Structure 1
Amino acid sequence: MKKHGILNRDIARVLASLGHTDQIVIADCGLPVPPGVECIDLSIKLGVPSFLDVLTELLMDMEVEAFILAEEIKTENSYINQIFSRQEIPTYYLPHEKLKQETSKAKVIIRTGESTPYANVILRAGVIF
């Protein structure tokens, strides 16, 4: 049994298979999942697990070179937006409709129980060397 890191076997599998520039999504409970994109649904009830809980754990186990967020998060979810503004990782913004289109390129969408507006992020994999 794993002693450290992500315990969820599906998330651990996806992280182990990522290459440079591959994308994964951490999503609120309302983001649509495009056909053909794997969804790992962690939601139990509204708010559980939270977007922040899942993001925090993934950032400890994944090399991320960029965040991609919806433009609307700047005005509609300042709490989540502030979390990204404190990161040293470059952050890019797209209109929400374009962000939803971009999720079709993701290896996986990890669905949380988050129910605050626009709490979705695309994580672009970096390299550790």
Structure 2
Amino acid sequence: MTKNGILNPQLCSAIAGAGHTDYFVIADPGLPIPEGINVIDLSLVRGVPSFLDTLKAVSGELVVESYILAEEMKNISPRLHDETCSVLQGLPHKYVPHEELKQLLRRAKAVVRTGETTSFANVILVCGVNF
């Protein structure tokens, strides 16, 4: 058992196994995930765990070099957009249409499913290296 940080063994394993440029996704429960992708389902009930709590925990452990958001998030969920960018402050990012983001999931090393029900509560974290 770890002293601090993430306790979920499946999530710890996925983070430890992530390599440079891998896609590591944090998603709402409605995002369609392609078959064959490692899904770590943390969803319990609506809102638990939240997207932001999950993002904070994962980004505290995972080396992230950039991230990708759906363009629609800016206008449809502006508060969540701003909070997401604040958590990942200083990292380069880009926007793609939501349909393209769903296609990018095919490259995901892992998808962490949250209980968040805010629209477009999804982010692709592009893994970096710590050296």
Whether TM exceeds 0.5 here: the answer is: yes
CA distance in 2, matches of 1:50, 1:21: 25
Instruction: Give, in angstroms, the shift of residue 84 of structure 1.
Output: 3.4
In the other structure, the counterpart of 1:96 is 98
Q: Which runs of 5+ in 2 are unaligned?
A: none
Q: Does 1:115 align with 2:117?
A: yes
Q: Does 1:18 align with 2:18?
A: yes
Instruction: Give, in angstroms, the shift of residue 104 of structure 1.
Output: 1.0
Coordinate RMSD, CA, aligned: 0.8
CA distance in 2, matches of 1:84, 1:27: 12
Using structure 2 for the length normalisation, give the TM-score: 0.95
Instruction: Give, in angstroms, the shift of residue 37 of structure 1.
Output: 0.5
Q: For 1:21, give the aligned amino acid.
A: T
SS in 2 for 1:107: strand
For each residue in 1:57-99, what CA deviation from the matched residue of structure 2 results, as whole angstroms up to 9, or x when unmatched? 0111011001100000010010121023331111110000000
In the other structure, the counterpart of 2:9 is 9
**Superposition misfits of 4+ residues, deviation over 3 angstroms:** none
In the other structure, the counterpart of 1:34 is 34
CA distance in 2, matches of 1:125, 1:33: 19
Q: Which runs of 5+ in 1 are unaligned?
A: none
Using structure 1 for the length normalisation, give the TM-score: 0.97
CA distance in 2, matches of 1:41, 1:96: 21
CA distance in 2, matches of 1:84, 1:14: 21
Pairing of 1:69-88 with structure 2 (within 5 A): 69-86=69-86, 87-88=89-90
For each residue in 1:8-27, what CA deviation from the matched residue of structure 2 results, as whole angstroms up to 9, or x when unmatched? 10010011111110111000
For each residue in 1:39-71, what CA deviation from the matched residue of structure 2 results, as whole angstroms up to 9, or x when unmatched? 111001111100001000011101100110000
CA distance in 2, matches of 1:84, 1:111: 16
SS in 1 for 2:67: strand
